[in-house]
Amino acid sequence: MPISDQTDQLASIFQAGRHFQFLKKSHELLEKLPHAPKLAAMSVHALATLGYGGPARELIQRRADIGGPFDQRDKLGNALGKLPNGRVPWNDQKHTYEKNVESFLKRYPQSEEALRHAENELKKIHLFKSQAGHLHTSRRQPGKIREWMRDLSIEPHEIGMQLPDKGPIRVPVVVGVSLGSLLPRVCELTRNAFLTYNHPVCVVELDLLHFVAWMHCNDQTELLEQKNIEWFVGPDAVVQLGQHLRDNDSIALPQLVLNQSDNINTTADIKTLVLDVENHRKQRLDELIARLEKHYHAPVGPDHATKLTPPSRVLAFTSRFTTMLQYSTRDVLDALDHMGFETQLLIEQEDHHCLTPNTICQTIDDFKPDLIVVLDHLRGEYPFLPENIPMLTWIQDPLPDLLCESAGQSVKHADFVCGLFRDRCIEQFGYPEGQFEYVDVPVSTRIFHAGEPSHAQHERFECDISFVSNASTTIEAFHQSELATNDPSVHEFMHVLFEATRPLIDDDTFCLRKAIELTARIANEMRLDLDEEKTRTIATHYTYRIFDWGRRQQTLEWVSDWANRTNRTFKIFGRGWEDHPTLSQHASGIIEHGQDLRDMYAASTLSLQLIPSGFHHQRSFEIIASGSLPLTRYCEGDFGDLPAREFEALRCAGKSPEVIPNFPNFRDIVFTTPSDFEERTESFLSNKNRRNEILSKLQETVQERFTYDAALTQVLKSFRNHLRVPQRDTKV
C-alpha cells in the first residue's frame, strides 16, 4: 500500500479515537519514514491523550520533524513533562502474578519451564497504564522508535465483536487473552447450557509473553482454576488444542471462534483443525464399532441366560445432568454388586463433559460387559451399540422417546424392559408383552434407612417440615429463558401456550397426556406445523414443566404462609431457592443425594412429596425408609382418577378411597387445599403416636415391595426366562 494511503488510513483510526491501535501502526511506519511531520504530530497527540508523557517526550527526542524550531520543541517537551510517565513497574504486580501462576501450574505443571523463560524475557517489555485505566505493553530496542505491542484491556466492542444478551452460545474458542469482559462474559453465556451442563471453553494464546504479562495485571485465579476452561499457550497453542480434542472424546467440539488477538489467521487455523478432529473421531468410532461387532458376534439366545447371573459384568451409563436418574443408576449397581455382579458406571466426570458414542464404545471395548443397564433410554437411541449385548432398560419417567410406537418397535430379542407404564407401553405402543416387567421405582435401603442422624447432622437439618427439589425457577423466569433459546418465529405460540397452561396449575386432572393435547391444539389453532415428535417434546419440556413447577411452588406458598403464621420451621433444599422471590426465606442450601439426604429426612418430622404425577416415586420411598412421614398433594391418578371433591366426600364419610395397593392409611397423608394441609400437618406434629403408627405401616410396605434388591432379583429372573425361549416375533 502506498505511504500516502497508509497515512490516510492511520489518520482515520486516529480520528476515531482508537489511539493505541493508531500508535501500533504509526510507530511501525515512522520507523521507515525519516520525515513525516503530520504523522509524527498525531503520534505525540495520541500518546498525550493516553497519558503517556514519557514515551511522548521520548518520541520528540527521536524525531526532528516534530514541533518545528528548537524553542517550540522545548516548550512541547515541557508541556508533556506535566503528564504522567504512564509506566508501571512489573515488580508492583509481582504478588498478583505469583497467585495466578500458582493456579495455572497446578493444572499445567508441564508449562513451568516455558513460563520461567518468559518471565526473564518480560524484563525487556514495559507495561503502561493509560489515564483511562487501560494497560498496554511495549518495548524499545536501541536506536529504534518504541514498539507498541498488545492492548491488555481490549473490549469486545472495540473490535466489532457482539455477544448476545442471553445464552447459551455455541461451544466457543477464545483466541487471545485480555483484561476486558470477553472471557468472563463467555463463561456466563456457556453456563447451564443444558440443565447443569456447561459448555467447555478453550482459550488459545499464541504469545506466551503476552500471557505472562496478562497474569501480572489482575487476579485471574477464578478463571484459571475454572474446570470448564482449558488454556493453550505458546506458539504451538493451536496444535495443543488439537491434541486435547483428539485425546478427550467427552469434550464437545468447538463451533464458534471469538478472536480478540492480533492474528486473524488463527480463526481459520482453528476451524480447519476442528474439521480434522471431527473426521478423526468418526474414523475412531468406526474402528471401535467394528471391534465390538467382532467380539459380540454370537446372536443373543439361550446361552446368554447364564451370563445374567453373578459374577458376570454389568455396565450402566447415565448422566450427571439429571436430578434422580444418576442416583437411581447408582442404586441399581449397588444392588447388583451385593448380588455378586462385577459392575461399572459410565458417567460424565465433569460438568463440561458429554457422553459420546466414542466414550461409550471405548468403555464397552475396555470392560467387555455381559449386560448393559440404562434408565429411561432404549437401545434404539444408541445405534452404535452392538446388537448382541443383552440390554435392560428401566423406565422411570414418561419421556416422549419412550411413549411412542417407534419405541415399542425398537425393542429386539436382546432387550428387556422394566419399570413404569407397562400396560400403556404394551397396548398403545407395541412393546413386546413378554419383555416388559412392571416395577415401581424402588429405594436403596442400604442408603435410606431409619435411625437418628449424628448430633451435628440433626442440628443442621432439624425442622418441622422439609422439601427437596432443584425446580426453584419461577414459571415466569422459565418462560423467559425458553424464549431466549427458541427461534423468534415460535415466540407468539409460546406466549399463548404459557397463558393457557398457567391457570391449569389448580387442575388435579392435568397430566402429560393433556399437556400434549393442549400443545397440539394451540399449535393447530395458530396454524403452526408441528409433527407428533416435536409436539411431544414441547409438551414434555415446556408445557408440562410449567404445570409441574408451578403446582409445586404454589403448594410451597401454602406451606410458607402456614409456617410464617405458626412459627413452624420449614426448610427447602436444592439449587437456586436462595434467589426465589417469595420462598428464599426457607432456602437451606444444596443437599447431595445419599447420606446427607437420608440424614435430612431423618431430622425432618414431616417431608413434602409434591411430584404432580403421583405418590409412586422413589422420593416417596426414600422419605419413608429414612423415618420421616411424607405429606403429598392430591393427585387423581393415585386414586383411580377419582375427582378431588369425591375423594374428600368419601374421606369425610369415613369411607376408604384407597387405590394404591398395599399403602394402608395413604389417604391420611394426602391434602387437597391449604386448610386441609394445615389441619393434617398440625395434627401429625402434635400427635407423635398417630404419626408413628402410619409411618410404621408405610415402612413395612416399602421394605417388602420397593427395594432395588427385590426388584432386580425378579427382573433378571424374567430376563433369563425370556432368553431361554428361542427367538421369535413376540409383538402383540
Q: Which of 211, 292, 283 is nearest to 249 (CA)?
A: 283
pLDDT more than 70, % of the chain: 97
Residue 95: predicted pLDDT: 96
Return the HEC string of 569-580.
CEEEECCCHHHC
Q: What is the mean pLDDT of the chain?
A: 92
Q: What is the largest CA-CA distance in the chain?
A: 111
Q: Confidence band (pLDDT; 50, 70, 90) for 600?
A: very high
What's the mean pLDDT in 199-214?
97
Sign of the Cα torsion 602, 606, 612, 616 reads: positive
Burial (CB count <10 Å: 0-12, 13-18, 19+), residue 164:
exposed
CB 347 within 8 A of CB 318: yes
Degrees to nearest 5, angle at CA 316 with 313 and 322: 165
- Give the span between the Cα atoms of 542 and 163, in whole angstroms: 26
- Give the span between the Cα atoms of 243 and 686, in whole angstroms: 65
CB 349 within 8 A of CB 248: no
- Give the span between the Cα atoms of 189 and 170, in whole angstroms: 9
What's the mean pLDDT in 362-376?
98
- Give the span between the Cα atoms of 343 and 131, in whole angstroms: 63
Grid look-up 415446556 returns 542
- Give the span between the Cα atoms of 450 and 11, in whole angstroms: 79
CB 334 within 8 A of CB 446: yes
Residue 123: how many CB atoms within 10 A of its CB? 8
What letters, b where the CB count within 10 A reaches 16 and e where it falls short, cover 38-77?
A: ebbbbbbebbbbbbbbbbbbbbbebbeebbeeeeebeebb
Q: Confidence band (pLDDT; 50, 70, 90) for 730?
A: very low
DSSP H helices, 16-63, are: 19-32, 37-50, 53-62
Residue 683: predicted pLDDT: 96
- Give the span between the Cα atoms of 28 and 8, in whole angstroms: 15
CB 210 within 8 A of CB 149: yes
pLDDT in tens, 606-655: 999 999 888 888 899 999 999 999 999 988 878 777 777 777 777 677 66
Helices 544-566, 674-686: axis angle to 10 degrees equals 50
What count of Cα atoms within 13 Å lies in the side-chain half-sphere of residue 522? Answer: 21
- Report which residue type is found at 458: H
Q: Confidence band (pLDDT; 50, 70, 90) for 71?
A: low
pLDDT in tens, 514-563: 999 999 999 999 999 888 888 988 998 999 999 999 999 999 999 999 99
The yes-or-no verdict on residue 657 having pLDDT over 80 is no
Return the HEC string of 383-450.
CCCCCCCCEEEEECCCCCCCCCHHHHHHCCCCEEEEECCHHHHHHHHCCCHHHEEECCCCECCCCCCC
- Give the span between the Cα atoms of 442 and 328, in whole angstroms: 9
The yes-or-no verdict on residue 322 having pLDDT over 90 is no
Residue 613: predicted pLDDT: 83
Q: Confidence band (pLDDT; 50, 70, 90) for 69?
A: low
Name residue 137's beta-bridge partners: 127
Residue 81: predicted pLDDT: 78
What's the mean pLDDT in 447-462?
94
The yes-or-no verdict on residue 732 having pLDDT over 70 is no
Return the minimum-mean-pLDDT range out of 122-131, 440-449, 461-470, 682-691. Answer: 440-449
What's the mean pLDDT in 311-331?
91
The yes-or-no verdict on residue 167 having pLDDT over 90 is no
Return the HEC string of 323-386.
CCHHHHHHHHHHHHHHHCCEEEEECCCCCCCCCCHHHHHHHHHHHCCCEEEEECCCHHHCCCCC
Residue 728: predicted pLDDT: 63
What's the mean pLDDT in 73-97?
86
Which H/E stretch holds residue 147? strand 147-151
Helices 94-107, 112-121: axis angle to 10 degrees equals 160
Per-residue DSSP letter, 667: G
Kindly report whether the global pTM for this prediction surpasses the value 0.85: no
Residue 70: predicted pLDDT: 54
The yes-or-no verdict on residue 731 having pLDDT over 50 is no
pLDDT more than 90, % of the chain: 75
What's the mean pLDDT in 101-116?
97
- Report which residue type is found at 491: H
Q: Confidence band (pLDDT; 50, 70, 90) for 380?
A: very high
